[in-house]
Amino acid sequence: MNREERNEELNNSTYGAPRQVKPLRKLKRIDAPRPAEPEYHGLHEAPSIDIRIEGEEPPRPQITEQQYHGLHEKGRDRLVESADYDDKPNKKKSRKDTIIKLTSILLSIAAIVTLFLNMPILWYKKSGQPDERVSIMTYFKRWQPTVDIEGELEKPQMNLNVDTDIVHDDFTDGLDLPQLVEGQYTVLFLGFDEDLELTDVIWICQFDIGGGKLNILQVPRDCAVPNYTGNETTKINSVYTYGDPSVSKIQRIVNCVQDDFGIPIDAYVTTACFDIVDIVDLIGGIPMHLDNEIIYEADKIIPKGDVVLDGKQSEWFVRFRHEWLQGDIGRVQNQRRFMQAAMKKLLAIVKDEGKLKLYSYLNTIYKNKWIATNMSVEDLSKLADLGSTLTMENVSVDMVPGEDADYYYGPGPDDKYSIYSIHKRATIDKLNEKFRPYQRPMLLSESNILEFVEEYDYQYELYDDTGMTFEELEKATEPLRNPDMRPAWKEDE
């Protein structure tokens, strides 16, 4: 029996009613071109196979994806809208990627440099302190470019008498400086004559950091301090050169000031009269008003009125004394007018040109060694910042109380020098009032001041209270002049 006979027999059998058997549909391979498949990159990724049943609608063309290269790349989410596009977007993207790469490189370099600058790789040595390893940044901040001229200061032997009711364990003035007494920072400013031997300008500049003030005490150069100088004049301006030979020159004058006036000195600044010329010219001159012309010498004249003193004129102004009725005291009083004008100019620089400009001036002064100081770059910058916040009413200047007297160094009537005898009690009162804000009151017995005119025999007390704020000095007039000292060649004018 063949296959056809067997099928007919099965169809006519008793197992069930006759039924029509539907032949199976044949699968047909579609050879139509398929859209491009994404490139295969994974070991376990199965390639897709396109199989369709005959008679079905062909699938819509797939849109090509951009090639995927990273876990965080968003390329899989971006679809290409058209096959026809130009290369402008790619150029923009290329420039953007370049900028990002360059920025990343620069930031990396900056981070590396910062890390290097803050690594403790240099040895820092300072007199009286143990050596320590510090970073380049710390070394620069502590750098004292001119300290080698005068040297470091010794730790004072005086009793500081800190007022612990104010300066307790938790007290801080907010300014991190190497202070002997927290809350105050005192700088001794010295101005030398042309021979660099006599300190004709002596100012004690105390920053009351806690109180936001600056108090300046002018010490007349003729103050008699026989215990601290070997010069027969006994004058304080000779202590630097003729003082105690066992200590440095700068230490001689510092010891004298600390012992007589009870003010601990944290730092010093020295300059010569000819250095003032360069410093003033650097900052563009000092604007001032002069009531009358000043004739320093026949060919060195400063006209009256509103003027801007250049370097040379500034030197003449602060050194001029010939015509003042009170001689050197007149010069001291005139110098405070210059101080006020100079500070006003520095405040104007900060206001109009910014602190960076002021710092650039300080850097130039340091570089040329127009001053000598034991302050570091960081210390000087902090003081400059503090000074720029002060107002004229918060800066005051006083002079050491006293009077003119004669000091006889020999038996003859002409063996004498004109000196300035300090009024001890008035001086101690002034110190306690303004210059010891964080120290206990000073007693008369704690000062080494020697008087050449006893208190009961004072001739006058004209100089016992000469204090003025810089705001008041702005309107102050020049000291009294002695008409007899007017140059003869000016008499007919």
Query: What percentage of the chain carries pLDDT values higher than 70?
Result: 73
| Residue 182 pLDDT > 90 | yes
pLDDT for res 1: 56
Task: Give the range among 12-16, 214-218, 368-372, 430-434 with minimum mean pLDDT.
Answer: 12-16
More confident residue, 80 or 89: 89
Q: pTM of the full predicted structure?
A: 0.74
Residue ranges of the domains in the chain? 129-490
CATH topology of domain 129-490: Aminopeptidase (3.40.630)
| Residue 125 pLDDT > 80 | no
Residue 173: pLDDT band with limits 50, 70, 90: confident
Mean pLDDT on 240-256: 97
| Residue 304 pLDDT > 90 | yes
| Residue 210 pLDDT > 70 | yes
Each residue's pLDDT tens digit, 312-332: 999 999 999 989 999 899 999
| Residue 475 pLDDT > 50 | yes
**DSSP bridge pairs for 192:** 199, 272
pLDDT for res 378: 84
pLDDT for res 293: 94
Mean pLDDT score across all residues of the chain: 82
pLDDT for res 163: 94
More confident residue, 315 or 8: 315
| Residue 461 pLDDT > 50 | yes
More confident residue, 82 or 145: 145
